[in-house]
Structure formats: structure tokens, C-alpha cells
Amino acid sequence: MEKYKLENYDVIVVGAGHAGCEAALASARLGKKTAVFVLSLDTIANMPCNPCIGGSAKGQLVCEIDALGGQMGKTADETFIQSRMLNRGKGPAVHSLRVQSDRMKYHSAMKHELEKQENLDIKQGEVTAVTVENGAVTGVETKLGAIYGAKCVIITTGTYLNGAIHIGETSFPSGPDSIAPAIPLSESLKALGLNIRRFKTGTPARVHRRSIDFSVMEEQDGDEDIIPFSFDNKLPLENKTKCYITYTNERTHKVILDNLDKSPLYSGRIHGVGPRYCPSIEDKIVRFKDKERHQLFVEPMGLDTDEYYLQGMSTSLPEYVQLEFLRTIKGLEHVEIMRPAYAIEYDCCDPLELYPSLEFKKISGLFGAGQFNCTSGYEEAAAQGLIAGINASRKLDNLPPLILDRASSYIGTLIDDLVTKGCVEPYRMMTSRSEYRLILRQDNAPERLTEIGHEVGLVSEERYSFFLDMKNKVDSEIERIKTATIHKSDALNQMLIQKGTSPLDRGARFVELLKRPQISYNDIKPFDQSAPDLPPEIINKVEINVKYEGYIKTQLEQIEQMRKLESKLLPTDVDYRKVKGLRLEAQEKLNKHKPLNIGQAGRISGVNPADVSVLLIWLAGRNKND
């Protein structure tokens, strides 16, 4: 095939899913001439798995992306059709926003965002190879023989890389939604020496609205007080649809178990490792035999379609078996399948081969992000894409990479987990993965990360000023209520008794009353004539900071200790076999991972506290001799 040279770019992004969109936008917004390649323009920011953004821990990721200057939160606010804050009955550390998105409107809005972005070219085409000279990226080649030069390349191939669909006994090469997979690129990456592995995920059937009996299902309404992802959102926020809940039953489970031999997951035809925390329905029934029923959510794909999505029912069973077990479920007795469920296998890299910047250790200028880095989920992908796009740009400017630590963000936790611990299955972010989740709340993402986004160059002066004004209002009100006195009154004591707390025998500071678990800011406000008129988001921040002050202080002290270890940098050229006192396993793991600091070394599986002590003594001696 004839090959021909076309344009040169600073940064080329391969793939335009949620990781690719954020990577391309970040690079272009930071002034780099950028191109993003996608197999089909109709799949930009596609939602092949589920039409929603956010969820437990994922909502935190979206707010962090927004605070840094990314796009996902803004587009989610623009196109959602139902919004709910999860875990409202629990503490603020686990409050997580989840919105039901209009699938096609989200795609269209994000595609248009890419189209109107300066410095960014969008190209429909298949990248078949990454070109490298002297250990550094030089560009990419396409299926048509075009050669594009690039100083940095970011791989964000999602589940398209050597993708294969499985439905019952039928298997065929494909990406999601019947788009052709990218096969030669996988071989090119292997030839470059990257360790390519095989993972698997799945998606449920899409069914027709007219075949669903919603009257026998549980209704799930959105929140009345809608909180946006983007902290400076100015768009109207309105719920436009209902979602529904129904359940599997004994008959459903029997149909699935009777046909288990037809599932490629159990017949051995699927070799990829699937996500533990998002199993197929057949896997749920086998693993949780004592459970009488499993919940499924019936959710619309958008306002201009009659397709509905059955969250919690991914499967790779044959289409006729899918129809049989779905029709045993209350409200789905006459269901019509529009798109059958399927499992998909795909290739991805070993994230242990990445620096925390998401650049490959073996190849200068080559970055990875999203499912290519072994994660699952749109939000995890977008977070990595944003960091990869920022760091590709910073590399070209000879600036140090942006590396967020575990105490700064869920994004930092996610990337540190990937590059330090690795993963043997698709990684999903959960609040339990963070040691500092009380600090890493959704509500304080702007306070944690907006200044960083501003310093990087993705947060405008106007937006930064808005953030500073918001922060000043919070700080000012916290200071005010420390001295504001609430006088004793019959009405006040009646309110306190009704709330289940003791009445006052004298006046009290506003802040003292607010520290009572039963009392909210708005409960006290009517009794404080000097209270300013503040928006709900400011009140929420004030309330959380006051009520959890002691816990926050303790966690900040833990963070300070962690950062002391992170500041003790390790040389990358050391042979740990020569460090006396290290156990053999620790020597092997440290030589494999080449950690950048003592803190990261301590999080490597196989390196114990005694090994960390040895490293500290060795490092102190080395620094003294230097």
C-alpha cells in the first residue's frame, strides 16, 4: 500500500470516547496543535454501556474534572434528563451525584465542543500504528496509508482495540454498536514492546418503551433540589423524565441457570477478565445463590427515542434466552428487544508500565488513558484523559508533569492505584479506595483543584474569580457564625426539642448549635437577624466544614504525614538488589515498579513497613554521602 505524509501535530489523540475528548480538548486549550482520530464521528463521546454520568465515587470524579477545567461536567449539566444525589442518608463523604443523560444529546453536545475548539482537528480514520524512533514517538499511520507526525500520542481506544463481541455461541470482531474494531494498532503496540492484556465487559439489552408495563414498577423520581456537576453552572436545571425499578425472581434465575452452558463466559470462549464490581446477570446469580432477587433499573436512552436501558442486566447469553428470562420479570412480560445484550473483549495495556503522568516508561511521548489503562467507566476514562492531555502539553513546554497525590483527589487515587498497584481486572473507582474520603468530597472539589486548574491554564480568569468569590463567602460565613449569638427564646427551644436535642437555658453561639448533629444551618437561620441571604451550595459547604471540623483536622494530619513520605524522592536508576536489608520480594517488586518516592514504594504490593524503614535509612545515608 502506498504511504504518504500529511500534517504534523504537537499531540495526536487516538480515540474520541470520554478519555479522548478530554485529552484532545485539554491539549488544544493549552495551545497545542492537536488532532483526534476516531473510527466514526458518530461515536464521539458515545455511551454504549449505560446512558448516565456520575454515581458513587464517579460523581466525585466528574466534579474534580470540572474543577480542573475539563468538559464532562458541563456537558452532563447541559444534557441530563434526570438528576439524583446518591447516598443522601449517609455522610457527605459518600454523597455522589448521578444524572441520567440523553445519550444522543450528550454525543452531539460533546462533538460540537470538539468541533468549535481552536487548535483541534477531528479526523475519521483508523490509526493502525504508532511510529517510534530512538525510543520516542514520531507520529501515527492510518489504514489509508497516511502518515501524521506528532511529538506526543495519547492512546484512548476504549473497548475498540482488537474488540470482539460475544452473544451466545456467536462471536465476531467488533467494537460497541457494530462499529469495526481497531485490530492492527494492537499488534503495533505489542511490537513496540508494550505488555498488552485482554479484558472483558458487557452491556444490557435495549428494549422498546411500548412493551414495558411501568404501572407495576417502582417509580424513581429525580431530586427537587438539583445540584449541578459544574460549580459555576448557569444553565436551567430540570428533571424531564422518570426512571423505574423492578426485580428478577425465581423464574428468572431458573431460566438463566438452565442455559448457563450457552453463556460464552461459562463455556470458556471468553478469555478476557471481567469487572468484579459490574458482573453480568448470570454471574450475579451464580455468585449470589442465596439472593432471591436482583434489582434492575429501567431507564430511558433519551427524550427523542423509545429505547430503554436495563441497568444491572448485562449478559452474553443468546438472544432468545435473553428474551425468555426478561419476560419473567414484572413489567417486562411482553418486552421487545431492540438491541440484544452482549459481552465485549478488548485489548489494554499494563498500567504498571506507566509513570504517574500516564506517559509510558518505555516510550517517550506515548501516553495512555481510559479503558486502555485497564479501567472501567466513563468518568474514570475522562479523568485520565484530562491528565494525559495536560501532561502531553506540559511535556512539550518542558514543564514538570501534573501529578495529583492521593490526598488531593479521587483522580490522584485512581492513577496512583493503577501505576503503583496495577490491576488484574477492570478498575472501578469507589469511595472505599480512598483513605481520605472525608477530605475528597464532591462539594469541595472546587476548593481542592480549581487553583491547580488555573495554574495549569484550563481555568479562565473569569471562572477563577467566580471560585474565589464563592470561597470567600464560605470563609466569611464560617467566621461570622463563630461569634454570632443566638438568644434564648421559646420558639428556639421548641424547635430544638422538636429536632430531638436539648433546649437552651441561655444564649449560644450559632456555631455551637450548628455542631449539634440534629440541627441544620437553615434551622438556626430564622433566629439570627444578621444572617446573610446565601445560596444553598454555600450553606452546604459551611455546614459540612463546621459539623465535621474535628474529623477533617485528624485527616489533614494524616495527609501531612503521607506527604512527608511522598517528598522523599527515590532515584529511578537504582538497583534495589544492592540495598542491604531489603527482602528478596521487595527487591524484585521495587526493581519492577521503580517508584518515584518512599510513599509510592510503600503502596506496592509485596513491600512491607520493614522494607520502607530500610529504604528510609538507605536514602538518608545516600543523601548524606551526596
Domain coordinates of the chain in residue numbers? 4-201+345-454, 206-343, 472-553, 568-625
DSSP 377: S
The span from the CA of 241 to the CA of 222, in Å, is: 8
Q: pLDDT digit string (tens) for 586-608?
A: 999 898 888 989 989 989 888 99
First to last CA, the chain: 56
Question: Which residues 6+ apart lie within 8 Å of 90 measured at CB?
Answer: none
Please give the pLDDT value at position 10: 98
Question: Which pLDDT value is given to residue 1?
Answer: 75
Is pLDDT above 80 for 520?
A: yes
More confident residue, 612 or 368: 368
CA distance 351 to 240: 40
Cα-to-chain-centroid distance, residue 409: 11
Q: What is the pTM of this model?
A: 0.93
Rounded mean pLDDT of 220-239? 94
- Look at 34-38, 50-54, 134-138 and tell me which has the smallest mean pLDDT: 50-54
| The dihedral sign for the CA sequence 213, 217, 223, 224 | positive
Options 3.40.50.300, 3.50.50.60, 3.40.50.1100, 3.20.20.150; CATH of 4-201+345-454: 3.50.50.60
Q: How confident is the model at residue 280 (pLDDT cuts 50, 70, 90)?
A: confident
Per-residue pLDDT tens over the stretch 304-313: 999 999 999 9
User: How confident is the model at residue 420, as a pLDDT?
Assistant: 93
Q: Choose among 314, 248, 242: nearest CA to 281.
A: 314
For the chain, the 3-state helix, strand and coil shares in percent, each to the nearest 5, are 40, 20, 40
pLDDT of 514 > 80? The answer is: yes
Section 238-250 average pLDDT: 96
pLDDT tier for residue 626 given thresholds of 50, 70 and 90: low
Q: What is the pLDDT of residue 67?
A: 98
pLDDT of res. 449 = 98
- Summarised one tens digit per residue, pLDDT across range 413-428 is 999 999 999 988 899 9
> What is the per-residue pLDDT for 592?
87
Q: Check pLDDT > 90 for residue 233.
A: yes
Whether residue 198 has pLDDT greater than 80:
yes
CATH says 206-343 is which class?
Answer: mainly beta
Asked whether the predicted pLDDT for residue 230 surpasses 90, the reply is yes
Residue 267's pLDDT is 66
Average pLDDT over residues 514-527: 95
**At 566, is the pLDDT very low, low, confident or very high (cuts 50, 70, 90)?**
confident
Q: Which residues, in sequence order, are CB contacts of 35 under 8 Å at separation 6+?
A: 7, 9, 11, 12, 13, 24, 120, 121, 122, 123, 148, 150
**Whole-number mean pLDDT of the chain?**
94
Strand partners, 137: 132
Average pLDDT over residues 86-109: 94
- Decide if pLDDT at 266 tops 80: no
Across 99-116, average pLDDT:
97
pLDDT tens digits, residue range 341-386?
999 999 999 999 999 999 999 999 999 999 999 999 999 999 999 9
> Using the 8-state DSSP alphabet, how is residue 419 labeled?
I
* Complete edge-to-edge strand list for the sheet that includes strand 337-339: 218-220, 243-247, 295-300, 307-311, 206-208, 337-339
pLDDT of residue 277: 65
Least confident range of 61-65, 71-75, 266-270, 355-359: 266-270
* CATH no., domain 568-625: 1.10.150.570
Q: What is the pLDDT of residues 110-136, one digit of tens each?
A: 999 999 999 999 999 999 999 999 999
Predicted pLDDT at 342:
94
pLDDT confidence of residue 272: 63
CATH topology identical between 4-201+345-454 and 568-625: no
Enumerate the H helices of 397-489 as residue ranges: 410-416, 445-456, 461-483
C-alpha cell read off for 597: 518516592
The mean per-residue pLDDT over the stretch 15-39 comes to: 98
Give me the CATH topology for the region 472-553. Arc Repressor Mutant, subunit A (1.10.10)
Q: What pLDDT is attached to residue 305?
A: 96
Give the separation between CA 538 and CA 79, rounded to whole angstroms.
Answer: 25
**Contact by Cβ (8 Å): 351, 416:** no
Banded model confidence at residue 622, pLDDT cuts 50, 70, 90: confident
The sign one gets for the Cα dihedral 390, 392, 393, 395 is positive
Residue 625 has pLDDT above 80, yes or no: no
Q: What is the pLDDT of residues 415-464, one digit of tens each?
A: 999 999 998 889 999 998 998 999 999 999 999 999 999 999 999 999 99
Average confidence (pLDDT) over 535-550 = 93
Q: Name the percent of the chain lying above pLDDT 70.
A: 98
Element (H, E) at 385: helix 378-396
